[in-house]
Amino acid sequence: MDGHLEELLAFYALGGLTDAERAQVEAYVASNPEAKSRLEAMIQTTSALAYEAAPVKPPAALKKTLMDRVNADARTRSASVRQSPAPGRSRLLGLLQPRAGNWLPHAVAALSLLVALGAGGWALSLSNEIARLQTETNALRQELAAQRRVLAQLAAPNAQVIAIAGTEHQPGAHGQLIADSQTGSAVLVVAGLRPLGSGNVYQFWLIRGNTPVGAGLFRVDEQGQAILQVTQNVTPSAFNAIGVSIEPEGGSDQPTGDIVMLGNVF
Amino acid sequence: MGGDELNDEQLMSRVTQGDTAALERLYDRYSPAAMGLALKITGDRATAEEVVQETFWRVWRKAESFHIQRGAFTSWVFSIVRNLSIDSLRRRMRAQPIGEAEQSVDQVPDPEADVAEAAWLGVKHQQVRAAIATLPVEQRHVIEMAYFSGMTRQEIAQATGEPLGTIHTRARLALQKLREALLVQGFDE
């Protein structure tokens, strides 16, 4: 029996530990069935404390709002199941898979090119080609890192996925904001946006009431795809909509160009 | 609750399969307790309503993460309510020292609540209050500061001026005594 960790059990049950302390307790009880049993009894006792507060019936409108949201979600799920088992993820993976598969051809091409150039003694060409490949490799590394961030975000226990769709300006655009409500980190994944000319960028907005807050700038590739690590701390319950607009290079304090994507946070 | 009613775990099993009526039933059953808890912690009705809505939304969206072997449904759902409420409270208290955050909301049972549900929750409320009343005042304070005010053990030690070891002992004894008192009261989770 670990005296220090035993002392923490009651506060674990009462929710009065730091994250690190909680992790220590969880590791302790995982290998100590007796301690686990003691902790479960404490948690059961603690959950009774909720009844200490006098029950208060929430307003009827609250239930209606919740059930409208739930029923809409149930319809969406039902429609999604008819189309594919997991449309959100499969669409995302659809974005990712072709890119992941591009590594091998790039690597083979690079190697072949290096051998050919080396045999011919084209030193200048070789140097240029190496520079080009390094640039391409760096770009692919960045892309892979972005994709890993998305996958990590999806795997987070508190991951919340919010859909965003193209407006009349770019109806073919679609995407998802994947937010971890516990850590506040979020990633925006978009596809179907038109590549912009120089001098313009896409800007992502979190909208609280009528107030948009800039949450990152991005450009899309030739396929209209992009992954943005959102720069603002995202708590989905703290805002009611998300959007994307076209802004001058460097971004704006408020949307000034066309709003090309919008999504509601229910 | 009537004998032919589905229990919480049976309802959760249906929620997992996308049964919205099962979620509605759980909402009817526990939203008053959830609202009461959120209101007691946050001291703000609008915030408490947001907490309740988000809690049952999570019950819907994260139903798969509920496992009966890990504890009763009420432990799970009330932990969501408490955590959301404490998070909200902490956000509000950033400019206010934790020790001064005494929450006092005059809560009166809602007369419009469903009679059977209200009676059922009312009995539990009285049982728990009676059980808590058996605790020595210093043990009760530790429980209240930790559970309802979201204070860590270090913060409680600082606020009370007592050594950390004393706070640990009070918390442990309080839960032991509370468990016994709940049994005496006939409290059934």
Q: For residue B174, give the nearest of B146, B142, B145 by alpha carbon.
A: B142
């509605």: which residue's tokens?
B24
Distance from the Cα of B14 to chain A's closest Cα (Å) equals 13
Q: What is the pLDDT of residue A77?
A: 75
Look at residue A215 and tell me whether its pLDDT is greater than 70: yes
Q: What is the pLDDT of residue B96?
A: 53
pTM, two decimals, is 0.56
Q: How far is residue A208's CA from residue A241's CA, in Å, rounded to a whole number? A: 7
CB-closest option in A46, A50, A66 to B27: A66
Q: What's A55's DSSP letter?
A: P
Phi, psi of A195 (to 5 degrees): -60, 140
Q: Which residue has the higher pLDDT, A125 or B16?
A: B16
Chain B: residue whose CA lies nearest to A71:
B20
Look at residue A83 and tell me whether its pLDDT is greater than 70: no
Distance from the Cα of B84 to chain A's closest Cα (Å) equals 10
Chain A residue numbers with beta carbons less than 8 Å from the beta carbon of B72 are: 44, 47
pLDDT-wise least confident of A160-174, B22-36, B161-175: A160-174
Interface mutation vs chain A, best among B147, B154, B184, most A CBs within 10 Å: B147
3-class secondary-structure state, position A262: strand
CB-closest option in B24, B31, B71 to A40: B71
Q: Report the complex ipTM.
A: 0.84
Chain B residue numbers with beta carbons less than 8 Å from the beta carbon of A70 are: 20, 23, 57, 60
How many CB pairs (< 8 A) connect A and B? 170
Distance from the Cα of A241 to chain B's closest Cα (Å) equals 16
Give the dihedral sign, CA A175/A158/B148/A46: positive
Using the beta-carbon criterion (under 8 Å), do A51 and B33 form an inter-chain contact? yes
Distance from the Cα of A54 to chain B's closest Cα (Å) equals 5
Look at residue A243 and tell me whether its pLDDT is greater than 90: yes
Q: How far is CA A42 from the centre of its chain?
A: 35
Q: What is the pLDDT of residue A240?
A: 85
Look at residue A127 and tell me whether its pLDDT is greater than 50: yes
């020790």: which residue's tokens?
B99
Look at residue B16 and tell me whether its pLDDT is greater than 70: yes
Using the beta-carbon criterion (under 8 Å), do B71 and A43 form an inter-chain contact? yes
C-alpha angle A96-B57-A204 in degrees, rounded to nearest 5: 45
Average pLDDT for chain B:
84
Give pLDDT tens digits for A132-141: 677 777 767 7
